[in-house]
Amino acid sequence: MNKVLKGLLVTVLAVGAAHADHHTNKTFLMPRPTGVDLPMEYTTFDELITRKAEDKFGGNFQVVPFYKDSNSDHEQGEYFLVNKKDKIKIYNQNVAAAKTTINDDVDLGYIVHDSQGATAGAHHYESFASLDPREESYGVRFDYHQDLDKILKGLYLKVNLPVVHVENDPKFTVESSSTLATNIGAAAATSLKTTLESFFRGDLELNAAGANNNLVKKLTHGKINGHQDETGVADIDVALGYKILNKENYHLGLAIAITIPTGNDADGNYMFEPIVGNGGHFGLGGDLIAGARVWGDLDQNIKLYLKMKYRYLFESSETRTFGLKDRLFGQYYMLSEVNAAGAVVQNTQLTPAANITTLDTDVTPGSQFDGVLGFAYNNGGFTFDLGYNLYYRECEDLHRKGNIPTNKYFVVARNKDLNAATANIAAGDVDGNAIVYVNNDSLDISTAETPSQCTHSIYGGLGYSFKEWDTPLMLGLGGKYEFASENSAIEQWGIWGKIGIGF
């Protein structure tokens, strides 16, 4: 048994390392839907639904309370931040320094807009921002399997309905550097930290002109806030199948299936928003179930089984936040606007780009696959499951529906002072260059799409079925660990309990 466990684990790690990829500068992540979990569905329950029950109604029902928690959260920190880092340096030299001399991760001057520069001389502002996102979910799934032999021998119907509570926390932190405290003083360093935290939380708003800042509107979309949660039914999955082969020692079945979206979809208000279900997409596909008794008799045996679930998830509308081309963290850059005559207006509040670049979007997730290959050892009423679970979802296809007003907004240079008299406001975008408007073609669509996902899981389950009872009762426990090949998928572990009946 130890050799089997070690072999499965080595295979998972080798495959995961071979396909590892790291994405960065993203604004949205679609996690694996909680209801798409064949190990949770079939461990122990498979013994109940494959029993011979000619004189019964043929119904089987289980209730599965579960808990899941993410791991290796720094991977998602790299996904949402820039330069493949989960801790980035947000930096601003004095305005005399050209933009090209700033080689750190994000130029602070475009976010916390200081029109007069940081300090005199070589002094500069700098802070460090880090993300350690965590997703936690728990709930109860309900699975029903109905034999329809009375209609057509081998016909069956199954319905899955998970009720899920999802909690997401980006665990965003800002810290000031000792260099900054030395240059401008501890109080000023603390003030910058507070300002950054307030901005990304969506609380920072400047309504009155100050000596060192322009007016600023609150961040309303793409906020990097604290704990967010969502509760709901994570989609209803219905399959109608037929067992092509249904012998005592082996079986093979195929099903046509649909996924009915019942959860929430993305609204773009938060960067790491909790999603219940698959984001509001209708799915159509099929299932395959196969199994064979490879050793033993009815009382004590080993069975191998293969389960596959494929769904094509169709296009639906969501709201996503887009970044700006060639600008790291561009969705947080400050934008100014011109009036109808094309002139920059004095004392106009600057707008965080995310407020403008969060738009209705047609999203097509495409193919989604969930498969398990495992074995079950049965002895009397006891069942022990051990297996491998593969999950795959292809890269999303996004098409923007909403539009940015043409030739209205532009990125404001670090040293542009909109508090000055109108005559002193020189037209300029970045450090004195001519205005380059932020229009539809300025949006970086790739920042808002979830790349392809591939995960590998080792799972196990232990249960007992009172098969000889007039109404068989099933009890079980299970768990798994899910390895992510890319940081576009969440690495996590999960545990569950089971109680079910056959009638």
Q: Are 129 and 196 in contact (CB under 8 A)?
A: yes
* Distance of alpha carbon 214 from alpha carbon 203, whole angstroms: 16
pLDDT tens digits along 203-247:
988 887 555 557 889 999 999 988 999 999 999 999 999 999 999
pLDDT tens digits along 3-46:
444 444 444 444 444 445 789 999 999 999 999 999 999 999 99
3 state DSSP class of 212: coil
Can you read off the two tokens belonging to residue 317?
A: 């509308």
Strands 323-324 and 228-233: unpaired
Q: Are 275 and 263 in contact (CB under 8 A)?
A: yes
> What are the backbone dihedrals phi and psi of residue 450, each rounded to the nearest 5 degrees, phi first?
-80, 125
pLDDT confidence of residue 97: 47
H-run or E-run covering 3: helix 2-18
3 state DSSP class of 253: strand
**β-pair partners for 270:** 223
pLDDT confidence of residue 182: 47
Nearest by Cα to 223 from 205, 207, 191, 199? 199
CA 259 from centroid of its chain's CA atoms:
19
Strands (E) across 188-249 are located at 228-233, 236-246
Can you read off the two tokens belonging to residue 68?
A: 């899941």
Contacts (Cβ under 8 Å, ≥6 apart) of 115: 212, 213, 214, 414, 415, 416, 417, 418, 419
H-run or E-run covering 356: helix 353-357
Tell me the residue range of the domain where 435 lies. 2-502
pLDDT confidence of residue 412: 83
* Distance of alpha carbon 342 from alpha carbon 502, whole angstroms: 73
pLDDT confidence of residue 13: 47
What is the number of other CB atoms lying within 10 angstroms of the CB of residue 29?
24
Looking at residue 183, the DSSP 8-state letter turns out to be H
Q: Number of helices (H) and strands (E) in the chain: give both, helices first.
A: 7, 25
Q: Are 128 and 85 in contact (CB under 8 A)?
A: no
Total domains, the chain: 1
Mean pLDDT by 10 residues, the chain (503 residues): 46 47 93 96 95 83 98 88 92 54 72 57 68 96 96 96 97 75 50 85 80 79 93 98 94 98 96 96 98 96 98 98 94 86 73 97 98 97 98 98 93 71 47 76 97 98 93 97 95 98 96
Alpha helices in 19-124 (DSSP H): 38-42, 45-49, 74-80
* Distance of alpha carbon 408 from alpha carbon 422, whole angstroms: 18
Separation in Å, CA 312 to CA 32, 258, 370: 14, 9, 12
pLDDT confidence of residue 442: 96
- Type of residue found at 489: A
* Distance of alpha carbon 144 from alpha carbon 140, whole angstroms: 13
Nearest by Cα to 26 from 500, 335, 499, 487? 487
* Distance of alpha carbon 83 from alpha carbon 74, whole angstroms: 13
